[in-house]
Structure 1
């Protein structure tokens, strides 16, 4: 065949050429080729359970910044270490969470957690001032005690103090929940009503004490004023008007200090100034609640009904916390000044304790952005708690040492006073853990722990025959110190399963 010649199949006369498949195969006569199939490309469907998990979690975790947040979501869905091993082939939930986080892919910059708003330069001094503000009325108490001078006064102050602690804490909690639900007007109305009711509740407590143990109208006025100041202080702190509270009570504190220096000659001025200060604080707080929020906002009652369990928990915590302090000190108010004054250092530094508790959550949120390994995260959180606890203990020790030095200088330092002061130093660290537990809404654990500490103190005293008597005060205060050490341990045990879980900081 010459070049370029095309070879064609030869066809015999009367016969058709054999069929040929498009692919080139020849078929004999009578043989039929298989039908030509045109392939269809379908999207590949993954059968990997990890890919399915990533796709399911993607809408919820589009803002995830690390594997710890993914682990929190998995734990919330009920994923356990066993499920991670059996269904996905990973050793535990955290290793699975890291794989899911990588599967989510890079996150857009706008999806990261927004930075915390910058605090004003007065934020820290404002919180630190809470302790001294709480302590201002105590400067006037010596003048009041000199006027009334009766044991029923101790019971009245203890009862009114416990009620005020519970009442003001519950009111503030409810107002914060209303404010968080965008009900500022309802929060203001609630606080205004609680301010107005405060003196009535205090007067009722005073009247009860008078009916049981005796006394006069001045005792009722004292308890009414005590509740009025507690509620006024709560409202002004709620609205960050600590400067107004200080302006109303500083003259009373100055007059009370003058009485301590001058003596009975300054007593009328101290009592009159204190009365005017309480009335001024009450009026300023009531005025502060006016005109807040639109008139047409949604009602606040459904919000409070939704948080009724939390409200009950806060009330119980406030009552138990007041009982812890007052049951230990009330017997010494009229007989042992060195023991009764031991609470002053704790009250002065409560603002510092509150400040450290406020910063804890922000600090741990920052840790979730920097630390990716669960073990490292847990260790960092506990280091933060240890550092803050030691800081609270150290700061409480400073005024406590000053108080003990002053008592030694005037010849009134005793072993019982030292032990009671040491117990309140320990409480400075314990209340940091209490604030953190309250932030996690663990009010039941708080109440049970406080009741356990009270039971240890009172029960131990009954077993040993110790009490507030002159001969047993040392044993009684030593028991109280031991009970608050146990309380600190209980609070930390309650924090253990909570603080190192990243899901609580999302």
Structure 2
């Protein structure tokens, strides 16, 4: 469709009528009179016939309105061209003239039997993210606490950005029907992940000291993040779980039975990462070779995605810094604050699941209501409900965590507040997923930078900004962080609400 027809969908129809009129005036020598079919005098009939191939199975007038808006028809066009007050009044009449829709069969209306399997797959992502964590105590005894903290911070930031950009590029290629390009992206990312980790570890070694164990730790962590990205993209979470379960069991045994199992814990963790890495690479190579249809070169295919990839990378960087900047000062000495993010990470699969389910629920809402105002109210209630679910999901393990820390005598008020902040982040990340689905990466990054600025700025003036060298009350610092998270949620809502109720997004 040309740009002109996008801006005014009736212009193409008007041009066709003018061409037909010109044809009827052709009377030169040797020319024949052209008899044209009778054209309806009602422009709405022409509109109905034009949209019938696309909307012959429209479920309601709101569905029609969304299609008309997506084609560029505005309220002014509805008034000037067709004599209706707005697009929705016009859509109601178009829907009536389209005729009765075909009945939905019981099989179509029923729930997909694979829906729960897919839901469980997404929910399992949270436990998969924390599966290798039981090996950290054994690694701590080898590399030392300072090196472990530095390694976790560097690997988390690098892996988060790298994995986010890789997943976005791969899903875009799969969406365009280019499985070979997607496989090449995933395979290349998996193969280069350990090299990127080694380079980052060597740079950290030069800046902050450490040893070969620190470099190996960062390489393994980055490799695991990219490996999990490949296996998740190909829905092979089971392989990841099988590869890392021995590491989880060995790490748990080390915590219970003591230092004698340290080599087994570290070896099982390294072996699990290696097994998952090899599985991911081989799977990517096999999927690439299985693609038979011709595709453009990878560089050509990825060139239009560069702006989006930059946006995704910036979003991943800001997300990692948002989590780590508040916890980093406490990783060496305050256990209850340092592990406050664990409930959020454990429940991130639930957040992904509810974000995936949001659009189908909104589409179902479009089919149930008749007026735009009803849809707007319904979709806002839907957002409130889903946000509450994503807050409740980390709240349940958070209560268990706080109870355990209290039993050990390690719980403080600052730890409770920091845990509450990460529980609130569950709802914020749901809204972030919805904004990312609409490519609002600039708004996401700006909002997170603003929230971090508020946290650190107020902490600086109050003398409670340990990240900036102003150690003070941990309770005040964590309270400011909780306030910045709530402010972040408000910023996200400001970016989402104006587009949330636009029915054309849920066709």
Does 2:59 correspond to 1:62? no
How far does residue 479 in structure 1 lie from its aligned partner after superposition?
A: 1.0
Q: How does 1:85-164 map to 2 (within 5 A)?
A: 85-108=79-102, 118-119=113-114, 122-164=117-159
Once the two structures are TM-superposed, the CA of residue 85 in structure 1 deviates from its matched residue by 4.0
* Among candidates 191, 194, 203, match of residue 198 of structure 2: 203
Q: Which residue, out of 238, 250, 265, partners 2:260? A: 265
**Shift of the alpha carbon at 1:107?**
4.0
Question: Could you tell me how far apart the structure 2 residues matched to 1:122 and 1:92 are?
Answer: 43
- Give unpaired runs (5+ residues) of structure 2: 1-35
Distance in structure 2 (CA, Å) of the matches to 1:117 and 1:228: 35
Instruction: Give the secondary-structure state (helix, strand or coil) at the position aligned to 2:286.
Output: coil
**Displacement after TM superposition at 1:47 (Å):** 4.4
Counterpart in the other structure of 1:251: 246
Q: Does 1:304 align with 2:302?
A: yes
Question: What is the deviation of 1:483?
Answer: 0.9
Cα offset, 1:99, TM superposition: 1.8
Question: Which has the greater radius of gyration?
Answer: 1
Q: Which residue matches 1:286?
A: 281
Query: Are 1:181 and 1:303, in contact at CA under 8 Å, matched by a contact in 2?
Result: no
Aligned pairs for 1:414-433 (under 5 A) are 414-433=412-431
Task: Provide the C-alpha distance between the structure 2 equivalents of 1:440 and 1:199, rounded to a whole number of angstroms.
Answer: 32
When structure 1 is superposed on structure 2, of 262-271 and 330-339 the one drifting more is: 262-271
Of 443-452 and 421-430, the range deviating more from structure 2: 443-452
More displaced 10-residue stretch of structure 1: 150-159 or 135-144 = 150-159
Where 1:441 maps in the other structure, the secondary structure is coil
Preserved contact between residue 152 and residue 209 of structure 1 (Cα < 8 Å):
no
TM-score (norm 1): 0.86
Aligned 8 A contact 1:155 1:330 in 2:
no
| Pair 1:200–1:465, CA change in 2 (3 A) | same
| 1:101 shift after superposition | 1.9
Deviation at 1:86, TM superposition (A): 4.8
- Per-residue displacement from partner, 1:378-400 (whole Å, max 9, x unpaired)? 11111111111111111211100
Q: Which residue of structure 1 lines up, in the alignment, with residue 20 of structure 2?
A: none
- C-alpha distance after superposition, 1:151-176 (max 9, x if no partner): 35433321221110111111111111
The answer to whether the aligner puts 1:340 opposite 2:341 as a matched pair is no
Alpha-carbon distance in 1 for matches of 2:416, 2:436: 30
SS of the residue aligned with 2:410?
A: coil
Superposed displacement of residue 80, structure 1? 3.2
Deviation at 1:77, TM superposition (A): 4.0
The 1:482–1:502 alpha-carbon spacing in structure 2 relative to 1, beyond 3 Å, is same
Contact 1:176/1:187 (8 A) holds in 2: yes
Query: Which residue of 2 is the match for residue 4 of structure 1?
Result: none
**Superposition pairs for residues 321-336 of structure 1, below 5 Å?**
321-336=319-334
Structure-1 separation of matches of 2:175 and 2:113 = 19
Give the stretch that moved more between structures: 493-502 or 342-351. Answer: 493-502
Contact 2:463 2:471 in 1 (8 A): no
Give TM-score, length-normalised by structure 2. Answer: 0.86
Distance (Å, rounded) in 2 between the aligned partners of 1:206 and 1:396: 32
The answer (yes or no) to whether the contact 1:156–1:205 under 8 Å persists in 2 is no
RMSD (Å), alpha carbons: 2.4
> What CA distance in whole angstroms lies between the structure 1 residues aligned with 2:276 and 2:390?
29
Instruction: Name the structure 2 match of 1:37.
Output: none
SS of residue matched to 2:222: helix
Alpha-carbon distance in structure 2 between the residues aligned to 1:464 and 1:139: 37
1:242 matches 2:237: yes
Show the counterpart of 2:404.
406
Q: In the aligned structure 1, how far is the partner of 2:475 from the partner of 2:391?
A: 22
CA-CA distance at 1:182 after TM superposition: 1.7
Mark the CA change 1:287 to 1:48 in structure 2 (over 3 Å): closer, same or farther: same
